[in-house]
Amino acid sequence: MALLDIHTHTIGNPKGIFNGLALEKAKPQPFSLGLHPWYLKKDWKLEFFHLERHINHPSLYAIGECGFDLIKGPSTDLQLKVFIQQATLAKRFQLPVILHCVKGLHLLQQYLKTHTDPPFIIWHGFNQKVNIAQKLLIFPIFFSFGEALFKKGSNAEKWLRICPLDRIFFETDISDKNISSIYEQASLILDIPVKTLEKQVGKNWKQISKRGIK
């Protein structure tokens, strides 16, 4: 079964978008590349140049993960500045953004208010309150669900139950669970066959990217 894993740190899954350029250790597979807020430095422009150099790589499927983290990261001004640069690059090359957002909702909202034509954004590992997600539906934002779905009553579970199906993705991230188990858990929550979810996620990907994942 070809289940798309929108965000993984595991090398070797041809249907998983690997976070980071470490393809020297693996066969070519879809990957994302971005400047994570945890590791932003004053010389971030050098890393951004590295990102730009790989923008036309045939296996680059998304920019990220990038975004905001107020628990572990530099100043909010720097985080916002670097995110805007990456989002602008993503829009220019028609690539989706894989969003990392920890206590940085206000920064995301600030970006969305000042940029009327943002790229498609996938909030990875979404586990926020339902009302937060609902307010974001007016923007081209998608929600990727992962291990949090196994915690009964989690915000992720609550939002998945009512989230429009054309806005959902699934991921393994850094968990030891495989993508099949994530889809199966979502299937149980929604009472929808895994095959139906697989097709829906495939449609969602085609909606936001011209780069097909075989």
- Would you list which residues are annotated within the binding site? 65, 100, 124, 173
- Let me know: does 193 contact 187? Beta carbons within 8 Å: yes
Point out the annotated binding site for a divalent metal cation.
65, 100, 124, 173
DSSP letters along 1-64, please?
Answer: ----EEEES-TT-TTEEEESS-GGGS----EEE---GGG--TTHHHHHHHHHHTTT-TTEEEEE
d(CA 13, CA 48): 26
Give CA angle at 17 (146, 155), nearest 5°. 15
91: tokens are 């829009």
54: tokens are 């790989």
Give CA angle at 159 (168, 1), nearest 5°. 35
Q: Report which DSSP code applies to 65.
A: E
d(CA 89, CA 73): 22
Does the CA dihedral 126-74-111-4 come out positive or negative?
negative
